[in-house]
A and B are shown apart, each in its own frame.
Chain A
Amino acid sequence: MNLITLKEIYQSLFHDRLTFILQGSFSDAMTENIIELSEYSISGNEDLKKMRKKISFLIAESFQNIVRHGLPSEDFVANSQKAGMFLTKSMSDRNYITTANTITPEQIIQLKPMLDRINELDPGELKDLYHNILSHGTLSQKGGAGLGLIEMARKSGKKLEYDFVPIDKEHSLFYLMITMLINDLPGHTFTLQMAEGFHKRVNSGNVFILYKGDFSKDSILPILNLAEENIAKNQEMPVTRKKVLTILIELLQNISLHGYARNNGTKDGILTMGAENGKYVICTGNLIEKNKADDLNQLLKKYSALDRNEINTTYKLLLRTGKASAMGGGGLGLIEIIKESTIKPEFSIEPFDENSFLFLLKSTV
């Protein structure tokens, strides 16, 4: 992930309330955190709030779909074509949930007719089918019997969009998209093709978590938990895990504390976490007030010119003589990020609109 790509992605997602993509090996434990993120992003919108329970249900169902039916995680290799994906995208009047998981040709033979049948039925017929299978149908090995898909169609009220993208002779990626609209007014449309393209783009950037939305305590904690789960699975050295999470905390709180509040009061920004050459890479982007841009630029340039020893000395000087700000910090965050990164962080500060600049930072651990 480089800063130019990050900027482009942020600009393309600017009007979304929330875009969250997670790649990797999935576990049930993550479901709660994802639902928390989604519910938080919905909480500020009266229209979407009415759909809150449905959206949370559908997130859980989609997630379970990957956890239960994707290939076992031993087969999984980060950023290979077999990666599973979960993507939720929330706009002011609509919500999209897209998942991808690896399946076999045999599974396609079972799935396709089931999906086509579900998409042909009206709500009454779907309800009947659901009860029919519940009463008489044979449970699948995983205990679902296709009920999950039927419930997705019923709760969303829309057709389930799907696609099978071959990976090799034995495997295909099964994409599934659930759409929820508050009304049928035209607006931003996000198609399955766009979701597939976005997945491909994120995958090629070696990114396993991408979050674009509001940064506050209510969103930071679920993100931290998801990152922790993800890192734990990669069985990194404890030192690296700790460093990654510590830097992540500073980067996220940096946005929450110092970011420019948009019209709706949100501290909007973007976070990506991924890997490059065996190291973790964390990137953030956020808007800052126009009049703060110059000071920040000068500070970052000053720190960038220092070698490791000088950074440590500067840090200790700040520890002893620095003054706490109104919120209790004292400008230690930025220097901690630089100090704990294994390579000097890259940054850029550029004009974004008439009131703000876009601050991008890339930290490698």
Chain B
Amino acid sequence: MLNLNIADTEDTPSIICIKEEKNCTISIGGNSLPENAAEFYLPLNQWVNEYVANPCSSTLISFKFKYLNSSSTRQIVDMLIALEQIHFKGFALGVFWHYIKDDELIKSRGEEIASVLEIPLEIREYES
């Protein structure tokens, strides 16, 4: 399947999905404030649905948001719930939620999302 590469804008994040032979990485970062989050995240959702049917032995997902509107939170959680299948199938799955130092809001959003998932989500702080 083709890789996905969506550049960021003032109000939407960058999305990069790279599937290699054994490893796959999904990276999403920036501001996520699309009014129509369904439309914006559709390519990613389609990509993930196809991927879950035939995943790599190891998948790494990385989030690095600055701002996240509630519609985006809904889309991200739905995507992660879909990716839980990989874990249940026995494949390795690492999910990392990065927040910039002192950003308690993004940190706590990550913790809330982690608490409702059936896969581990690691929260990591980074300096600017």
Q: Could you tell me which A residues sit within 8 Å of B by CB distance? A: 216-217, 221, 238-239, 242-243, 245-246, 249-250, 253, 256-257, 312, 315-316, 319-320, 322, 324-330, 332-333, 336, 340
When distances are taken between beta carbons in the complex, the residues of chain B under 8 Å from A326 are: 38
Distance of B8 from chain A, by nearest CB (Å): 14
Q: Which residue of B lies closest to A317 (CB)?
A: B116
Query: What is the number of residues of chain B that contact chain A, defined by CB distance less than 8 Å?
Result: 31
Q: Mind listing 7 A-B residue pairs with CB under 8 Å? A: A216-B35, A238-B102, A315-B112, A327-B35, A327-B71, A328-B75, A333-B70
Contacts of B70 in A (CB 8 A): 250, 329-330, 332-333, 336
The 10 residue pairs across chains A and B that have the minimum distance between CB atoms: A328-B38, A328-B37, A329-B71, A332-B70, A330-B74, A320-B116, A333-B70, A242-B105, A238-B102, A319-B116
- In the assembled complex, B113 has its CB within 8 A of some CB on chain A: yes
The answer to the question of B60 belonging to the interface, with a C-beta cut-off of 8 Å to chain A, is: no
**A residues within 8 A CB of B38?**
324-328
CB–CB B36/A327 < 8 A: yes
Inter-chain CA distance A256–B71, complex, in Å, is: 13
Q: How many residue pairs, one in A and one in B, have C-beta atoms under 8 Å apart?
A: 85
Contact string against A for B residues 1-21, beta-carbon threshold 8 Å, 1 for contact and 0 otherwise: 000000000110000000000
How many Å from the CB of B52 to the closest CB on chain A? 17
A238: chain B residues at CB < 8 Å are: 102-103
Determine if B67 and A328 form an interchain contact, defined as CB atoms under 8 angstroms apart.
no
Residue with the highest number of chain B CB atoms closer than 10 Å, among A221, A250, A332: A332
* 19 more CB-based (< 8 A) A-B contacts, given A320-B77, A320-B116: A221-B10, A238-B102, A242-B103, A242-B105, A245-B67, A249-B33, A249-B67, A253-B69, A256-B35, A315-B112, A319-B77, A319-B113, A326-B38, A327-B36, A328-B34, A328-B36, A328-B75, A332-B73, A332-B74
Residue of A nearest to B115 (CB): A316
Say if the beta carbon of B51 comes within 8 Å of chain A.
no
Interface on B for A, CB 8 Å cutoff? 10-11, 33-41, 67, 69-75, 77-78, 81, 102-106, 112-113, 115-116
Question: In the complex, what's the smallest C-beta–C-beta distance from B38 to chain A, in angstroms?
Answer: 3
Give chain B residues whose Cβ lies under 8 Å from the Cβ of A246: 67, 105
CA distance A315 to B116 in the complex (A): 10
B78 / chain A contacts, CB cutoff of 8 Å: 324
From residue B98, how far is it (CB to closest CB) to chain A in Å? 15
A296 to B8, CA, bound (A): 34
CA of A253 to CA of B73 in the docked complex: distance in angstroms? 14
Q: Which chain B residues lie closer than 8 Å to A328 at the CB level?
A: 34, 36-41, 71-72, 74-75
Q: How far apart are A254's CB and chain B's nearest CB, in angstroms? A: 9
Docked complex Cα distance between A325 and B36 (Å): 10
Chain B residues closer than 8 Å to A324, beta-carbon distance: 37-38, 74-75, 78
Q: Nearest Cβ in chain B — how far from A353, in angstroms? A: 26
Q: How distant is B20 from chain A, measured CB to nearest CB, in Å?
A: 29
